[in-house]
Structure 1
Amino acid sequence: MKSEKNEEPTVTITNLSQLQTFIKERNNWQNVCYMSQIPEVCREYPCILGIDEAGRGPVLGPMVYGTAFIPINEQTLLETLECADSKVLTEEKRDNIFEKICDQSGKIGWGVEIIAPTSICNSMLSRSRYSLNQVSMDAAIGLIRAALNLNVKIEHVYVDTVGKPEKYQEYLKSIFPKLKITVAKKADSTYPIVSAASICAKVTRDHSLKVWNFIEDLEVTEFGSGYPADPDTRQFLTDQCEPVFGYPQLVRFSWSTAENMLENLAYHIECEEEMEQKTPPPNTMAITSFFKMTRKNVNNVKTMHEFFTKRNLSREVDF
């Protein structure tokens, strides 16, 4: 995100419990990018890198972008770990595979960017609108750059698309001309490395909701999946709407679901229009003209005021 300053994590996450602690202790209103320890083999041998997201559609919680990378000559390990599209796996299975990915820290590296609901809203509701697609693309670019900056020897990048794959692929290629890049629909179910990235993203988002720390001091633990169609989520939006201030930071104000709820449940506020400035009368001097330096004529004499010149008065020193 352009306008949000990311935290710089100083922790090392090697299991699910440490991931939960990391999420719980962070500021929910800030974006944060985490990269695992880089396996030495990923610096020595050509690697493939996958990118996918979790939480693009929900009205509650962060959107998380995940990445995973592994040497090309080790990629069969991904099938051994049963990496598959995170959406077709149970939560227990996703957690289990995430633990296995962490256990293979000598061969597999991973990372996530957690994009806060507040950050998403600020982007989409700002005067110069910053679309969710652009937020997504910037997150993907940020993760690729993070891996490159840590000297991961990336050869081929696989990305699950947002928008048209051809256009997105061309855009990424213009930024990373030295890398092979494949952008595809349903890449998370086609390429195991994207499946691994998808699992890292989904597990991080799921546990972000589980351990969400309400700065508004709400004692709420049940709010559903966060998707607009979920009855528990809709009940949460109904119960937690404060008529003046709206919703806690868990909610994405920019979603139509939240906007419609606010329209029905919150107070309506009307702001006064600014008074239009009246056009000044003709020949009125601007206030700034009194603070300008006085011009000098060719003889280096100060220009006389209009009052004197209109009356044909001149300066005289010799009589």
Structure 2
Amino acid sequence: MDDGTVYTRDFSCVAGTRIVNQLRNEQWIRSPCILGVDEAGRGPVLGPMVYASAFCPQSSNISDRGYADSKTLTHEARAKLFRAIDADTGVGWVAHIMSAQHISNHMLGKDKVSLNSLAFDATCHVIRSALEGGANIKQVYVDTVGDAERHRERLSRAFPGIDFTVCPKADSLYPIVSAASIVAKVIRDKSLVDCQQVLSLQGDVGTGYPGDAATMVWLKGHIHPVLGFPPLVRHSWETSARMLEPPEAVSIKFEADDAVDGGGAICSAQQRLNFARTGGAGLVESSGLGRHIFFRARKLQRVTDVF
């Protein structure tokens, strides 16, 4: 869903989905605004991680609206508050959804990206989307990820001219962060259900956290011994990685894994593809040296050199 589109309550499990409620015609977004950022789903082994921002005029008093840390609210209370936030033309919000597959691909890919880096990028996304929507953001409150001061400095460099407050428990201290917390949690929970339906996965997934007995039962019931888990699962989590070890799953080792050089050291040289020549002429190998990086990165060699 593109930025600025009308909110349709369709929480896709597509990586990088951004949802923005429509406030372009509201005059207040041009006045000085505050914005809060919070996340939901950082720790679960199932489903997406959602970052959300909520923003409103600095002159607004939202302390009496019942916004609170989403973890302290019941499911029903969160849903009611979310509907109120979404219907309030004096409050804007943005959500950035990162699917389990998106998280795993980045954390396990060739150029590995840490969860903290993904979180920082998502924080920037929800702030930038509010700015692109016309909001005149002057003050931002963020729940800390790692070292609070370092996090604040990075955000200040990314958004010059905006004053950042980064601290633990911001979702309990600042109502605008509480509002973002509610948005993130409701969308995370709904997106988990939507993803399960899209993937036609049956059973009670629980909360998605490793400590949830229902979640662990669901994981054990959805192991494929060769293909592993469905895309709803974060393969980059230690919980899922341990469950894919024998005897529950088949151990697979590729030829290029743990390649050893002449001195016995582990090396990361390009994988060589071996093919048998027709007519029994033996084997040929392609090192990829001198080839364009596109072909070397994909371990491709000329077919005419092989057959």
Task: Give the TM-score taking structure 1 as reference length.
Answer: 0.77
SS in 2 for 1:142: helix
Structure 2 unpaired stretches of 5+: 263-288, 290-307
The number of equivalent residue pairs is 261
Output one character per residue of 1:228-268: Cα deviation in whole Å (capped at 9) or x when no partner.
Answer: 01011001110000111111111000000000001141111
Checking the alignment, whether the CA contact within 8 Å between 1:66 and 1:201 is kept in structure 2 is yes
Change (3 A) 1:174 1:12: same
Q: Paired residue for 1:272?
A: 255
Instruction: Report the identity percentage.
Output: 42
Letter in 2 for 1:31: G
Match of 2:75 among 91, 98, 102: 91
Cα RMSD over matched residues? Answer: 2.2
Q: 1:210 aligns with which of 177, 188, 193?
A: 193
**1:229 corresponds to 2:223:** no
1:117-196 equivalent positions in 2, closer than 5 A: 117-196=100-179
User: Structure 2 CA distance, aligned partners of 1:94 and 1:215?
Assistant: 24
Distance 1:277 1:140, change over 3 A: closer
- Structure 1: gaps (5+ residues): 1-6, 279-287, 289-319
Structure 1 CA distance for aligned equivalents of residues 145 and 185 of structure 2? 17
1:3 aligns with none
2:102 is aligned with 1:116:
no
Q: Identify the residue that residue 40 of structure 2 maps to in structure 1.
A: 54
- The separation in 2 between residues aligned to 1:104 and 1:212, in whole angstroms, is 28
The one-letter code of the counterpart of 1:139 is A
Larger radius of gyration: 1
Q: Is the 8 A contact 1:29 1:117 kept in 2?
A: no
Cα distance, 1:44 vs. partner? 2.6
Query: 1:214 touches 1:248 (CA, 8 Å); kept in 2?
Result: no
Letter in 2 for 1:231: A
Give the equivalent residue in structure 2 for 1:71: 57
Structure 1 or 2: more helix by fraction = 1
Tell me if the contact between 1:157 and 1:179 (Cα under 8 Å) persists in the aligned partners. yes
Q: Tell me, what secondary structure is at the counterpart of 1:224?
A: coil
Q: CA deviation at 1:104?
A: 1.1
Q: Does 1:37 align with 2:22?
A: yes
Alpha-carbon spacing, 1:214–1:253, altered in 2? closer, same or farther (3 Å): farther
Paired letter, 1:102: D
**C-alpha spacing 1:236/1:45, structure 2 compared with 1 (3 Å):** same
